Structure 1
Amino acid sequence: MNANKHALSAAVEHDHEPYSEDYFLGETISIGRLTPSMTRVVLKIEGGERLAPSGHPDEWVRLAFPPDVDTLVTLPVLMENGKWGRPDGSKPCPNRPYTIRRWDAATHEMTIDIVAHEGGVAASWAMNAKVSDVVGICNPEGRFWIPRGSQWLLMLTDITGLPAVGRVLEELPEGFKTIVHVEVPSDEDRQDIDTAADASLVWHACHGLMPERPGYTELSRIAGTITELPEGPGYIYIAGEAKAVSDSRKHFRDVLGFDKNRIDAIGYWIEGQARV
């Protein structure tokens, strides 16, 4: 079991540390299209030795972007009163939350996958970013936390939750029973993900606007096709469009009678609204 897998299995048994606020600059050292709908960015984090991982494999940071082409990213500073602020009068930079796909504590390199789409602060930045571009980040937070005694895991996400799925699968203990459903725009958006878990991964190529139906996602429909769960105590992790995630949670709770305390349902975005 490697260090990441040990950290994840330990997370099943131990409480995590409280959040520690801190801010960093990250320089883009690599950027490229991973699949037709996903851009992969690698950042070198200045002062990365201070970065405090959350212990959650779905952990996310807020990426802060330049407010305009003529202005550099600025960060809050720790003031004498112990609070973070901007005593120089600089304005907060536009920012969006993104999952840490991979963190290398030795090299201070952070990999972040960004869904490619028209509009949006982060997507627009990623489409035009180049090596040496600088963004701001904060210490990460996370949610994924397998309850003690769990014998299986079910993950259901749209493409925005795919980076979390990938990292979780890579860090799961050997042989851990795992069922994964991921909604992506096309078959070309599938990814090869290494895992030691006993995992089944089902891809659903139906994300995005289509003339035959309204909305971008069929996540709740996909949830409805799941009519049985494995025996024994488990954990369900759902991530994607907020209403679809809520409807999916209701299916597992109300239709299948699954314990609501063993479900984490996270709205990554809201239909018709910018992700903030």
Structure 2
Amino acid sequence: MNPVRESRVQRVRHELKRRDVEVVKVEPLGRHFVAVTFRGEELADFVSASFDDHVKFIFDDGGAEPVRRDYTPRRYDREARELTIEFALHGDGKASSWARQAAVGQRATIGGPRGSMIVPIDYAWHLLAGDATALPAIRRRIEELPSSVRAIVVVACEDVATLTSAAQLDVWQVADGAALVEAIRAIPLPPDDAFVWFGGEASIAAKVRDVVHGEKGFPRTASRISAYWKEGASDHHEDL
């Protein structure tokens, strides 16, 4: 039976806006990521209160309809009116293809975020896991964590790039989604004062959910397991 635990997570809503922006910087991050910084006066009132917020990145690829994909706001500078998004260069999806050729001066639109799930940074223990698509959120989160807490990061990605944190950081790099599930199965989850977070492919997210909530009985009130994408589908996002 899952333990009953009052949620410490705060959910807030934001006014939904679409903002026109321009690329002002493109920075490769290892072999499989690129950080693209956008600027626009309409970013003056942008709000991103949580490390796993999602904005809708909207661009024209010459098709009948604009392309829309969900991305994590990696870094925001209100004074400079700048927002940075990190793109995983995996496969040949439309957003990855856009990011590979991104150049200063290109235009795009940023929508949202609609809301934030604010997870306190003072949990004593954090498990952050996922594939390449989860790394921007993981990098943002561990940069926020204080030195008093422990964070275990489990990533199924061959190119993790730099992970910077004041927290007591333990990084597990695994080969694929199946190995990630087994790694989470092997990690003892503390019964109290801990938070579990996962982002990645839908079938792996379902297996992680079954391990964390089913096998281990860890409370849903202290976790978030999200399917960031689904094999064979476009523009997929689902919380499990």
TM-score bin (small chain): 0.7 to 0.9
Is structure 2 residue 140 aligned with structure 1 residue 167? yes
Query: Do the aligned partners of 2:88 and 2:133 also contact (CA within 8 Å) in 1?
Result: yes
- 1:274 positional shift: 2.3
The CA RMSD over aligned residues, in Å, is 2.4
- Residue 58 and residue 50 in structure 1: after superposition, are their counterparts in 2 closer, same or farther (change >3 A)? same
1:62 paired to 2:56? yes
Using a 3 Å threshold, how does the CA distance of structure 1 residues 118 and 157 change in structure 2: closer, same or farther? closer
Q: 1:262 to 1:15 in 2, by over 3 A?
A: closer
Partner of 1:220: 181
Contact 2:9 2:117 in 1 (8 A): no
Q: Cα gap change, 1:231/1:13 in structure 2, threshold over 3 Å: closer, same or farther?
A: closer
Gapped regions of structure 2 (runs ≥ 5): 1-6
Question: 1:18 aligned to 2:28?
Answer: no
Q: Segments of 4+ in structure 1 off by > 4 A?
A: 141-144
The counterpart of 2:37, out of the listed 35, 42, 47, is 42
Q: Which residue of 1 aligns with 2:190?
A: 230
* Structure 1, gaps ≥5 residues long: 1-11, 70-90, 208-215
CA distance in 2: counterparts of 1:223 and 1:245, whole angstroms: 12
Q: Indicate the structure with greater strand content.
A: 2
TM-score normalised over the length of structure 1: 0.75
AA matched with 1:273? A
Q: Which residue of 1 aligns with 2:160?
A: 190
1:83: which partner in 2? Answer: none
Q: TM-score normalized by structure 2?
A: 0.86
Q: CA deviation at 1:19?
A: 2.2
Q: 2-side partners of 1:100 and 1:140: how far apart?
A: 9
Code of the residue aligned with 2:80 in structure 1: it is T
User: Which residue identity does 2:217 align to in structure 1?
Assistant: G
1:210 corresponds to: none
Residue 203 (1) aligns with residue 164 (2)? no
Shift of 1:27: 0.7
Contact kept, 8 Å, 1:144 with 1:237, in 2: the verdict is no
